[in-house]
Chains A and B, each alone.
Chain A
Amino acid sequence: MKNTDTYLAEIKEIRQMMEQSSRFLSLSGLSGILVGLYALIGAFIAYRMIHFPLPSSYQKIFPSQIISNLVVLGSVVLILSLATVLWLTYRKTKSSGKKFWNPGSRLMSIHLTIPLVSGGILILVFASRGIFSIVSPSCLVFYGLALVNAAKFTRQEIFYMGLIQIALGILAAIFPGLGLFFWAIGFGVIHIIYGTIMYFRYEQKPKSA
């Protein structure tokens, strides 16, 4: 005969299945902190490149060379960030015995990628025409939209992080000279703050049990 414990277990199972099949909750908070650090370091190097282009060297620096250097720098930061997020998240799913590639993570990736890739292409098109003022605001706005869109399939906090990024992007558009500053706040500081919150909220095992 079934007792109430069995029914409780059944309800728990139902909840877990509903959540696991539609949400991906294993994103690593630690990776958010690292990504934020990369972004801050990248922004600092970019600042040096733009405002103090190697005074010691004899070779004359052309603006086009700074731009290609910035593109390389941006790509390095992006690839390093992606690799860190994937690696730490993969490790987290492994240690908790969950699947890395499940319906939840698939849904989240799709909804994250669509605004991100369309924004990325748009930025590249405008940048190739020499319109660089669009880069920082658009990065932030499209990243924010991607987060808002993907939040339905992961933790709700991501939704608010998306809103903050969108707001920073719009501010960056209003104050064109401060693009790099807002970029550093959005991709650097906000990531570190959010990564820390997520880490302490979900990844720290409660000490008093």
Chain B
Amino acid sequence: MKNLFHQLDKAFENKIRLGTMSVLLVNTEASFNDLKDLLEVTDGNLASHLKHLEKEEYISVRKSFINRKPNTVYTITEKGKLAFEKHLNALEEILKQR
């Protein structure tokens, strides 16, 4: 049992990060505003969590401009996909053991 808890990824211990990874796993990409609408969080809060995921190299960022407004698009990386799947499997195992 203890071993299983070790498999949970610290990076996903937060609801916003968990939500972000879920959205990016099923969609090829999502913009900052898409994520903000879906997760119903404030700009600053979301930005700091995204930065964290970016630092872990779980997501990659592409910046562009639409009508001179900055548009930031996020995609999941291969590393992020693997890490998130491992996290989900660990969650499942923990629940099964009960």
Contact = CB atoms under 8 A, between A and B. Distances in A.
- State the main secondary structure of chain B at its contact with A: helix
B38 A4 contact: no
B48 interface: no
Of the candidates A4, A8, A18, the one having the most CB atoms from chain B within 10 angstroms of its own CB is A18
B48 to A, nearest CB: 19
Interface in B1-25: 15, 18-19, 22-23, 25
A74 interface: no
Nearest to B22: A17
B66 interface: no
A86 interface: no
Nearest to B91: A7
The A interface is mostly helix, strand or loop, or mixed, namely: helix
Contact residues on A (Cβ < 8 Å of other chain), bracket: 10 to 19
B73 interface: no
A84 interface: no
Given A13-B18, A14-B18, A14-B88, A21 B23 contact: yes
Interface string A103-144: 100000000000000000000000000000000000000000
Nearest to A101: B37
Given A22-B27, A103-B38, A14 B22 contact: yes
Interface of B: 15, 18-19, 22-23, 25-27, 30, 34, 37-39, 88, 91-92, 94-95, 98
Interface of A: 4, 7-8, 10-11, 13-15, 17-18, 20-22, 99, 102-103
